Amino acid sequence: MGKKIVTFGEIMLRLTPPDNLRIQQSRNFLANYGGSEANVAISIANYGGDVDYVTCLPKNALGENCITELRSHNVGTRNILLGGRRLGTYYMEKAVSMRGSQVIYDRDGSSFTDLQPGMIDWRKIFQDASIFHWSGIDASLTPGLAAVCEEAIHVADEMGLTICCDINYRKNLWNYGKNPKEVMIPLMKHCDIVFGSESEYATVMGIPAPKFAAVSDKEVVNKEAYENYCRQIAAELPRCKYVYIVLRNVMSSEHHTLAGVLYSENKIKTTRVYDITNIIDCIGVGDAFVGGLLYAHTVYDDDRKKLEFATAASVLKNTIAGDYNMIKATEVENLIEKEATGEVDR
C-alpha cells in the first residue's frame, strides 16, 4: 500500500472585507477559496506528500476555478465529482485586537451538500491510499453527508486504511435535528487517529477539559491533567491509537499561546508552549495541525516527531493570510529546532 492520503470535504468561495473592515462597511470583498479538508490537503502537498481531495463541485466556471486552484498546489483532483447547483460560500470578517472573527455560511443546497451514499466510488478512490481523513463538518451539514462519511469509513476500514477524524465542531452547522454526540461518536469509534481542540472533545464527548491557560512561552503544559483527560477520551474510543489535542489560549486576536498534546501507547507527549504575537490570520490553524500530523505519519516513525511537526506547522499558519498553510517542511523543521529567528534568509 502506498502513502497516499485521501481527504474528503467541501471547498468554498471565501469572501473577506479588505483592511479589517466589518461586512456592513465593505463594498468590496477579497475572493479566495477555503474549506477544512481542502486546507489539510494543500498543507500535505506543500510538504511534498501525495494527497487526493474528494468533493463535489458545480459544473461551471467557479467549480473549474476550484479545481485549477487545487491543482496549482499539487493536490490530486481526479476523484472530484461535478454536478449539483452551486458552490458553497462563506463570508469571513477578520479579528482585530479584542474583536473576534465572524463567519457567515452560505452553503445550503451546494453541490457538496447534495451528496448521498452510493454517489462516490470509495473502493476505486482508496485503491492506492494508506490514510483517509474526514471531519465533523462533513457529518454536520446533512443526514445524507453523515451517511456518506459512514459509507467511506466502512470501505476504508475494509480496505485496511488508517482512518483520521478531525472533530471540527461548528455550532452554526448542526441544524438538522441531531445531537453532534449521537452522530459523531459512532463514527469516531472506527477511527485510528482523532484530532480536536480540548473544547471540541469536551462538547462532543462530554468530558470536562483541563482548560489550557498559558500566557507565555515560559509556562509548560500540565502533563498530569492532560494524561487523565486523554485516558478518558481513549476509554470511549478503544480503537483510536493516536489522540491529538491542540491547546490554544487567546489573549487578543494578535496574541495567542499554542501547544500540542499526543496520547499514544498509553503515554502522554506534550510540546513546548509557543507564544505567538502579531498574528496575521488564525483561520485554518487546526487544519494546519491536521495536515502536519498526517504528513508526519507518512514520514516519521517516532510519535514525538509527529506531534512536534504538527504543532509547529499549526504555529506557522498564524503568519499566513488566507485558509492555506503556505509553509514548506524545512520551515516547520527549522522552527522545531528553534532556528526560525525571523532573520532574512540569503
Average pLDDT over all residues of the chain: 94
Domain residue extents for the chain: 4-336
How many whole angstroms separate alpha carbon 103 and alpha carbon 306?
Answer: 31
- In this predicted model, what pLDDT tens digit does every residue of 22-50 receive, in sequence order? 888 989 999 989 999 999 999 999 999 99
Query: Which residues, including other chains, have CB under 8 Å from residue 89's CB and lie 6 or more apart?
Result: 12, 13, 14, 15, 105, 106, 107
Q: Distance between CA atoms of 134 and 184, rounded to whole angstroms?
A: 11
Q: What is the pLDDT of residue 344?
A: 41
Q: Which three cell numbers stand for residue 319?
A: 503568519
Alpha-carbon distance of 85 to 59, in angstroms, equals 8
Averaged over 215-224, what is the pLDDT? 97
- Amino acid 2: pLDDT: 58
Which CATH superfamily groups domain 4-336?
Ribokinase (3.40.1190.20)
Q: Which ranges constitute the DSSP H helices of 189-328?
A: 198-205, 223-236, 285-299, 303-317
SS3 of residue 42 by DSSP: helix
C-alpha cell, 260? 500540542
| Residue 123 Ramachandran class (φ > 0 left, ψ -120 to 50 alpha, else beta) | alpha
User: What would the pLDDT profile of 255-312 be if each residue is shown by its tens digit?
Assistant: 999 999 999 999 999 999 999 998 998 889 999 999 999 999 999 999 999 999 999 9
Global pTM reads 0.94
Q: What is the pLDDT of residue 340?
A: 47
When mean pLDDT is compared across 15-29, 184-198, 206-220, 263-277, the lowest value belongs to: 15-29
Question: Three-state secondary structure along 112-144?
Answer: CCCCCCCCCCHHHHCCCEEEEEEEHHHHHHCHH
Q: What's the Cα-to-Cα distance from 342 to each of 52, 337, 345, rounded to whole Å?
A: 33, 14, 9
Residue 103 has pLDDT above 90, yes or no: no
pLDDT at residue 90 in the model: 92
β-bridge partners, 76: 52
How do residues 310-335 score in pLDDT, each as one tens digit?
Answer: 999 999 999 998 889 999 999 999 99
Per-residue pLDDT of 233-243, as tens digits, reads 999 999 999 99
**Is residue 245 within 8 Å of 201, Cβ to Cβ?**
yes
**pLDDT confidence bin for 96, thresholds 50/70/90:** confident
**Dihedral angle sign, alpha carbons of residues 179, 204, 57, 61:** positive
Which amino acid is it at 264? Answer: S
